[in-house]
Amino acid sequence: MESKMILYFDMDGVLVDFESGVRRLPEEAVREYDGRLDEVPGIFALMDPMPGAIEAVEELSKHYDAYILSTAPWNNPSAWADKVRFVQKYFPKVFRKRLILSHRKDLLRGDFLIDDRPKHGAKAFRGEWIQMGSERFPDWKAVLKYLIPVPERKFLKEKWVVNEFCGTPELNHYYETGELPKDETMRKLYEQMIEKGEI
């Protein structure tokens, strides 16, 4: 039986309504931390789930190997603990011991990452980055429509090859020596990249 595809969820702006926490801050805290509200101690303990997030996670977790992949502010230690508490409160079963906090999301392997911003490696994620809040994926309804039914792996193979192949020593080797990759998919991709002037 083929294993499930790996799906990562960001927290802030995807699962968590950051603005709901800001609205609960005292005015003096808002003034003191202006421009860096994510550093307010305890702010992440004040936040609510994004509308539709709980239901979407429950549905997607039936079809995917689901994890949270988020970033916590380096200068706000309370945020790290508060994110764990948020998961324990709202997603106690689905994400139990499935919370990953990293400032380099591009280092993790997986098939999909739902994230609202390109920062912290999201844009360079090796699978497919689904940008929540974008024109294509404005809400959870659009995300669910895209991810269910689950896309067949064969349709994603070329995208994986692009992400794995571009900028690697192997690509440089083929370019410098004039050799062609032995793998048929890689060879076609390499030829297309040359035709388009991408390398």
Does residue 109 sit within a domain? yes
In a domain, 21, yes or no: no
**Domain assignment of residue 1, yes or no:** no
Query: Do residues 122 and 105 lie in contact, with contact meaning Cβ atoms separated by under 8 Å?
Result: yes
**Domain assignment of residue 186, given as a range:** 156-195
Residues 136 and 186 in one domain: no
Q: 71 in a domain, yes or no?
A: yes
Domains of the chain: total: 2
User: Which listed residue (10, 82, 111, 116) is catalytic?
Assistant: 10
Residue 194 has pLDDT above 80, yes or no: no
Q: Based on the residue annotation, tell me whether 12 is a catalytic residue of this protein.
A: yes
Asked whether residue 11 falls in the same domain as residue 108, the answer is: yes
Residue 32 resides in a domain: no
DSSP H or E run through 103: none
Mean pLDDT of 91-109: 96
Which of residues 134, 149, 164 is at a domain's end? 149
Asked if residue 95 is part of any domain, the answer here is yes
The DSSP code sequence of 1-48 is -PPPPEEEE-SBTTTEEHHHHHTTS-HHHHHHTTT-GGGSTTGGGG-E
- Burial readout 26-65 (b: 16 or more C-beta within 10 A, e: otherwise): eeebeeebeeebbebeebbbebbbbeebeebbeebbeebe
Is residue 116 among the annotated active site residues?
Answer: no
Q: Does residue 36 lie in a domain region?
A: no
Q: What is the pLDDT of residue 112?
A: 96
pLDDT > 90: percent of the chain? 72
pLDDT of residue 149: 86
Shared-domain flag, residues 108 and 144: yes
69 and 133 part of one domain: yes
Residue 174 exposure: Cα atoms within 13 Å on the Cβ side:
19
Q: Are residues 107 and 136 in the same domain?
A: yes
Element (H, E) at 169: helix 169-177
pLDDT tens track for 170-187: 555 555 566 666 666 666
The reply to whether 99 and 119 lie within a common domain is yes
Dump pLDDT digits (tens) for 57-89.
Answer: 999 999 999 999 999 999 999 999 999 999 999
**Which of the following is catalytic: 12, 82, 111, 115?**
12
